[in-house]
Amino acid sequence: SQDAVERISFHLSHIVTVNAEAVRQHLISRSIPPKKIHLVYNGVDAERFSLPFTKASILGFPKGARLVTLVAN
């Protein structure tokens, strides 16, 4: 079952990365040691990934437009 696979995977893992405190708390409730769980919030450094105005205008976005994207699987 998925539960068994997760228990084995978490036990063998050195680090388990989660993206929310709720997930961290859920794993702790499943007896995953808190020291194994690393919380990394979703987010993007807007300065690092800023789109120059010239390229934004090619895509049809007005100057100063704020864009919101979602990348998921």
Tell me the pLDDT of the chain (73 aa) as tens digits: 888 998 899 989 999 999 999 999 999 999 999 999 999 988 877 777 776 656 667 777 777 777 766 666 5
Q: Given this model, what pLDDT does residue 25 score?
A: 97
pTM of the complete model: 0.59
Q: Given this model, what pLDDT does residue 39 score?
A: 95
* Torsion sign over Cα 70, 18, 49, 62: positive
